[in-house]
Amino acid sequence: MKITVALAALLSLASGLGAQVGPASPRDSAARADSIARADSLALVRELEALERGGRDTTSVAALTPGQGPINPRLMPDISVIGDVVADLSPSGSTLEGGRRFDIREVELALGAAVDPYFRADFIFGVSDLEGIAVEEAYVTATALPWSLLAKVGRFHMPIGKQNTTHRPELQTVEYPHVIQRFLGPEGGKGTGLWFSRIFAPFGFYQELQATAVDHLGEAEEDEELETLEPSNRSLGGLGYSARLRNYWDMSEASNLELSASAATSRRAQPVLCGGVPVCPGIDGTPGVNARQSLVGADLTFRWRPLQQGLYKSFIAQAEYLRQLNQNDPALPPAFGAAAEYIGPSRNLDGGYAFARYQLTRRTHIGGRFDWVEEEDAAGEKANATAFSAYLQFFPSEFSKLVGAYERFIPPGQAERTNRILLQMTFSIGPHRPHPF
């Protein structure tokens, strides 16, 4: 009899517990506190829960959880949009591309989702008044490769140097460093092809080797304007290739260091003259010839962010050096005749920058950058362009940023110096994207 009563009580209590699958109400909490106060009841609850859940697998636990059906039943990709608005208040007129004082420099539309268990796809389109719609990046990432490999196929930012891998709206400055603009393009260097990466740690710290093979390097306008007798990618040796070795160390809980080296090579169209004029036999447009251009460089990044005060304090210092190696006497096509003359870059050019940013408050950062890049003039002489810039950043939230910047630009040959005052606002909507590191 006693056993029957006990079983009935158990069953009654079990059914009551089974019904308690929703979020606990204040009354539930109070009831639970009461039962906690009574140890015997608590032990009984424990036993019943064990009986109730005994032998069930994880799926059954999940099935008991209310309100957690498919989050995305239509399998829609993540869609986000970043607006990048720039104003140029420079005293000597606008220095922005297109000459506008206020400009929507770019709207970046990003879509991303898993394709299947083996691939993830990402598409980033850049929309601007000057360029219309451009495919900034579009690649599929193979996520299920062995041996710590990762591969991408499509268009991507080339892993050359540190800042080139960051999208322009996510830069810590308004524009890319001058050396990147000069050597890789104003919007950074991108390539279309294959990207491989492997991570390893034979010495106890993080190392990553990234290698790419792309159709060609460089997105500079002059590449598009020049016409050559044969495409630069006619032979496989004319494609663009790059390699980057990243080395990363945690110096302490709060600070870390990254030292990387990059190299890239490609054949690129460079200008020629025939008989002193840009008109050559067999070419309808502006004549060019393919010459090898390579880049080597190194970059160093130091970061400090104390974990407990990380919302309010941080510091980053970064320096990058790139050397552009130019073929000085490419073979000119016989069809151009004996009077053909190569007028592309023939000297090796150096450039770099040093950047630092300190976090003043939770929302405010201050930073500065020194830029230096060599340029080659028409006479083949090298001259330095330098720039000093200072930045004040304000983040209303993680999803919007206001930047005020001043830059003093000193062009090659100490010609007319330019004072630039730039304001920038970026804002994003859509799913939370990962914080850049």
Helix or strand (DSSP H, E) at 152: strand 149-157
* Beta carbon of residue 363, minimum distance to another protein (angstroms, whole number): 7
| Options 38-46, 127-135, 293-301, 417-425: segment touching another protein (CB under 8 A) | 38-46
**Segment 66-69 long-range contacts (CB within 8 Å, at least 24 positions apart):** 66/21, 66/22, 66/23
Residue 117 vs 132, nearer CB to another protein:
117
For residues 402 and 421, is the Cβ–Cβ distance under 8 A?
no
| Options 174-182, 234-242, 263-271, 393-401: segment touching another protein (CB under 8 A) | 393-401
| Options 67-75, 265-273, 291-299, 349-357: segment touching another protein (CB under 8 A) | 67-75
100 binds another protein (CB under 8 A): no
Nearest alpha-carbon partner for 286 in 299, 303, 269? 269
Q: Using CB under 8 A, which of 144, 279, 331, 415 touches another protein?
A: 144
| Options 33-41, 183-191, 263-271, 385-393: segment touching another protein (CB under 8 A) | 33-41
* Beta carbon of residue 45, minimum distance to another protein (angstroms, whole number): 9
Q: Using CB under 8 A, which of 3, 5, 67, 338 touches another protein?
A: 67
DSSP string of 15-57, one letter each residue: HHHHH--SPPPHHHHHHHHHHHHSHHHHHHHHHHHHHHHTT--
70 binds another protein (CB under 8 A): no
206 binds another protein (CB under 8 A): yes
* Beta carbon of residue 187, minimum distance to another protein (angstroms, whole number): 23
For residues 147 and 179, is the Cβ–Cβ distance under 8 A?
no
Angle, vertex CA 434, rays to CA 62 and CA 112, nearest 5: 75
Residue 95 vs 165, nearer CB to another protein:
165
18 binds another protein (CB under 8 A): no
CA distance 269 to 304: 43
Task: Determine the distance from the C-alpha atom of residue 168 to the mean position of all C-alpha atoms in its chain, rounded to a whole number.
Answer: 8
Q: Using CB under 8 A, which of 36, 135, 339, 415 touches another protein?
A: 36
Q: Using CB under 8 A, which of 105, 182, 190, 246 touches another protein?
A: 246
53 binds another protein (CB under 8 A): yes
N-to-C CA span, the chain: 69
CA distance 138 to 121: 8
Helix or strand (DSSP H, E) at 82: strand 78-88
303 binds another protein (CB under 8 A): yes
For residues 123 and 138, is the Cβ–Cβ distance under 8 A?
yes
Q: Using CB under 8 A, which of 62, 75, 236, 378 touches another protein?
A: 62
| Options 89-97, 113-121, 348-356, 416-424: segment touching another protein (CB under 8 A) | 113-121
Cite the beta strand spans of 275-348 per DSSP E.
286-304, 315-326, 340-342
CA distance 245 to 406: 34
Q: Using CB under 8 A, which of 11, 51, 61, 415 touches another protein?
A: 61
Nearest 5°: phi and psi at 385?
Answer: -110, 135
Residues at the contact surface with another protein, assessed by CB under 8 A: 21-24, 26, 29-30, 32-33, 36-37, 39, 42-43, 46, 49-50, 53, 56-58, 61-62, 65-68, 71, 114, 117, 120, 141, 143-145, 148-150, 199, 201, 205-206, 208, 246, 248, 250, 253, 256, 258, 303, 305, 307-312, 362-363, 397-399, 429, 431-432, 434-435, 437
